[in-house]
Structure 1
Amino acid sequence: MTDDIQKALNNCSVGKAVKLSNNGSMNLFLSGPITMPNGVSLIIDKGTVLRAVNNANTFDNGSKNCGTLNGDGKGCKALITFYHVSNGGIYGKGEIDGQGGQILNDKMLSWWDLAQQAKSGSQNQNAPRLIQVESSENIKLYQITLKNAPKFHAVFSRSSGITVWNIKINTPANARNTDGLDFMSSNNVTVASSNISTGDDNIAIKASGGNGSSTDMSFLNNIFGSGHGFSIGSETKDGVYNIYVNGLTMKGTDNGLRIKGDRSQSGEVSNIQYNNVNMSNVKNSIIMDTVYENKSGSTKANWHDVVYNEITVFGQSNIIFNGTNAIAPLKATMTNMHLPDNIMWNIKNTNINK
């Protein structure tokens, strides 16, 4: 069915969309990697599922590493790729299912099994992302449900004008390396009214590798379930600026508001505003950690002008400010904080203005 979907997309006029709809009991479209043409969108109708085929070789990018622990972990194509395109998106109340927990018929293990093997052996698993947006602009995700990604759900790299609105990400907490939304060296981003539960960072913002900074992003009225929280880093070498969060609820998330880095890829992070955030059953509610991993390197963190306002925490939790690897003391402002009496503080090389 991959070829049929790709052919329909290729023949679609700019400004139009290909729609996948159910026909009675026929509501499933199985597909391997597909590429979105310029100016074309994909609609997945309510009750309809676009499902990744559970075969590693189908997603191999020519390296013959997909489905293995060999190489750099980049041996697979994404299920859906936007590359150097403008004005497209994925819409509809249907689902995109990556089948991350299903046994691959050519490997006799699942993508998530492979991720666990990579962890135990300190290696990188070659597994596909659900959606990859690269060097593109004005791309939208609306209403769609993403679930069971083999690896990251949606990655936006070196892209601008991104809108993610009213989507759902629903993947188990034990599915390793299944970030919800990742923004890498991108700008002009809005994520609103979305519900994200996953096995790694719910949202991550990164900037490294000489690809440019990540700037000017708004995150409005979102809900997180399982996951590692709202993260900036760990790669911030190229700078992360002007991040605005307003209206975020986190329930049972491992971490809350987290900025992380180490000596390998730390840089400047500034003008970060967190407003109206409610957390319950969150182990580490606020973290600024410059020693996220014990990696070698010569970079130092320069994190300042970070504002926490109207933050409410329910239940036992930790607040960690670790500026050990900072070029100067970390600088944060905290106002209208509603914290439990037994909250644990751990502060190193940090100036907090209250």
Structure 2
Amino acid sequence: MRHLILLSLAAALPLVAQDTRTVTEPVMPPSCSVLTARLIPLSSGIAEKDEERLDTVRIQHALDTCRDGRAVVLRSRGRARAFLSGPLELREGVTLLIDRGVTLYASRDPKLYETTPGSCGVVNDQRNGCRPLISVDHVTGAAVMGEGAIDGRGGAKLLHQDVTWWQLAEQARAGGRQQVPRLIVADYANDFTIYRITMRNSPNFHVVYNHGDGFTIWGLVIDTPRRGARNTDGVDPGGSRNVTITQSYIRTGDDNVAIKGGEAVSNITISHNHFYWGHGMSIGSETNGGVNHIRVTDLSLDSPDSGIRIKSMGTRGGLVEDVVYDDVCIRKSPRPIDISASYTANGPVKGDSPPTFRDITLRNVRISGGGKILFEGYDATHRASVALDNVQITDEDAYTYSLKHADLFFGPGPVNLKPPPGLDSKVHGDSQTSIASSCNSRFVPFPATPSTPLAP
């Protein structure tokens, strides 16, 4: 079902938006080697007796010896359809291809991920205590593809410890940083591709892309619990340009997608996607490097904690501009529109690096299920300036508003939001009284994956 939906949308591409490349559906390359599985998975993952039967060395050797433009294929053999690995490194032009029915499981041994002795699987004040499961570092044309899955096992207890990766994250709420691995981290990796893979249960962020030019995600499924999986962002592009995320399905314990602006980030297209539980389609919280030329189109947000979200604060703020959300459906979100310079989770609201949001456009957006709608700038100088064109509530549920240092421009399409006067805020144009038609048909079930269904 999932791939029928993907194929039915292919005619809409190449994409017309802010990624300056011409993006077409990726093609799986021919193999340079085929590795067959040796482990039979249980419903809960890897059997305890198999926890030290690692496939790391043979997978890495295959990646190291593969030619540019070819793929290392992980394939099942009878009932054996699991691989178990510690950290892997992709090479120039090489694809890791996980075949249908196969799962690459991340080892639960924190020692394998250590950047220094004892640095992983703890809570402390250091940075980067763990290596990711898959590193894509200073290479061009690498990829992760296939109809299979990658499982980070964030909810499973670590070897020789009575704690899970996610429990470490909860412990860190009291102070410090959880030292846990991410699944895929790409750094200075131009023309990197993720195609059709399912990713589950990352201990931390699922996909991070930094300092690159050219990143394509097509047909990705991320399936991680809503609660108890702290800081498990789906996809985080930052400090990069020319990024496309398309035809993907994401539900997770934090931001579905978060555009990170700690360094300049631009020319991003996010199109034809379905997001479910999570913290929404986000920009921030760091925006101090600048965020611009962003296009989000044809997106459904079904029961996220926030829907359309731009978040920043005075300690890590900067200019966010030329951002367009077009053809977006949001339902059952406590904060369907959440544009705020008062984000507190990553630092004090006030500081010497204030954010400004300008040239932000919401067009053809429909909302249902009630909630709070926020347009909050930082101060009288650093404002939130938002144009709303055909932005409509489609039901009679209760909505509340927060306006601070905001300039809202209604039209030319109808807008039936009715915000009351706010602090140092102006609304240009008139609200409509009609209720727009629902877009319930746009919300599709989460696609079936090889995983056991997760409880919300």
Look up the match of 1:234.
285
The secondary structure found in structure 2 opposite 1:86 is coil
| Residue 182, structure 1, aligned to residue 236, structure 2 | yes
Shift of 1:287: 1.4
Runs of 4+ in 1 over 4 A off after TM superposition: none
> What residue number does 1:273 align with?
324
Tell whether the 8 Å contact from 1:263 to 1:325 is kept in structure 2 after alignment: no
C-alpha offsets along residues 78-117 of structure 1, whole Å, 9 cap, x if unaligned?
0000000000100001000001000111322100111111
Is the 2:239–2:260 Cα contact (8 Å) retained in structure 1? yes
**Aligned 8 A contact 1:65 1:71 in 2:** no
Which of 59, 80, 87 does residue 5 from structure 1 map onto?
59
Cα shift at 1:265: 0.6
What's 2:366 paired with?
Answer: 312
Q: 2:206 aligns with which of 103, 128, 153?
A: 153
Q: Could you tell me how far apart the structure 1 residues matched to 2:87 and 2:67 are?
A: 21
Which whole-Å deviations, capped at 9, do the CAs of 1:296-338 have from their partners, x for residues lacking one? 5301112100000111111112110111346333110001112
Residue aligning to 2:132: 78
> Alpha-carbon deviation of 1:122?
2.4
For 1:135 and 1:63, the matched residues in 2 are separated by: 26
Give the letter aligned to residue 331 of structure 2: S
More strand by share: 1
Counting only pairs closer than 5 Å after superposition, residues 199-278 of structure 1 correspond to structure 2 as: 199-208=253-262, 212-278=263-329
Gaps of 5+ in 2: 1-54, 411-456
Name 1:193's counterpart in structure 2.
Answer: 247
Determine the structure 1 residue equivalent to 2:188: 135
Question: Aligned partner of 1:289: which letter?
Answer: S
Verify: 1:162 aligned to 2:225, yes or no. no
CA distance in 1, matches of 2:316, 2:247: 31
User: 338, 350, 353: which one pairs with 2:406?
Assistant: 350
The match for 1:110 is: 164
Deviation per CA, 1:173-213, whole angstroms, max 9, x where unpaired?
111000000011111000001000000000001121xxx31
Residue type of the partner of 2:252?
A: T
AA aligned opposite 2:293:
N
Q: SS where residue 169 of structure 2 aligns?
A: helix
Secondary structure class of the residue paired with 1:39: coil
Q: Is the 8 A contact 1:305 1:333 kept in 2?
A: yes
- C-alpha RMSD over aligned residues: 1.1
1:58 maps to amino acid: L
Aligned residues: 350
Instruction: Give the TM-score, by structure 2 length.
Output: 0.75
- Whether the 8 Å CA contact 1:202–1:230 is kept in 2: the answer is yes
Aligned position for 2:72: 18
Is 1:126 matched up with 2:179?
Answer: yes
Unaligned runs of 5+ in 1: none
Residue 73 of structure 1: CA displacement? Answer: 4.0
Identity %: 35
CA contact (8 A) 1:45 1:93 kept: yes
Deviations along 1:186-244, one digit per CA (max 9) or x if unpaired, are 11000001000000000001121xxx311000001111111000110010001000110
Change in CA separation of 1:302 and 1:63 when aligned onto 2, cut-off 3 Å: farther
Structure 1 match to 2:388: 334
Moved more, 337-346 or 177-186: 337-346
The aligned residue for residue 37 of structure 1 is 91
What CA deviation, in whole Å up to 9, does each residue of 1:155-181 have, x standing for no partner?
Answer: 001112000001100000111000000
Distance 2:380 2:246 in 1: 32
Aligned counterparts of 2:379 and 2:161: Cα–Cα separation in 1: 42
Kept after mapping to 2: 8 A contact 1:67/1:127: yes
1:226-274 deviation per Cα after TM superposition (whole angstroms, max 9, x unaligned): 1000110010001000110001101110000111111111000000000
- The alpha-carbon deviation at position 39 of structure 1 amounts to 1.1
Instruction: Output the amino acid matched with 2:72.
Output: V
Quickly say closer, same or farther: Cα 1:188–1:292, change in 2 above 3 A.
same
For residues 265 and 98 of structure 2, what CA distance do their matches in structure 1 show?
A: 30
CA distance in 1, matches of 2:70, 2:380: 49
Task: Look up the match of 2:445.
Answer: none
Q: Which whole-Å CA distance do the structure 1 matches of 2:63 and 2:119 have between them?
A: 28
Partner residue in 1 for 2:118 = 64
State which of 374, 377, 391 in structure 2 corresponds to 1:323: 377
Q: Give the conservation status (yes or no) of the 8 Å contact 2:356–2:377.
A: no
Q: 2-side partners of 1:325 and 1:127: how far apart?
A: 37
Residue number in structure 1 paired with 2:423: none
SS of the equivalent of 1:113 reads helix
Correspondence for 2:341:
290
Deviates more, 1:107-116 or 1:69-78: 69-78
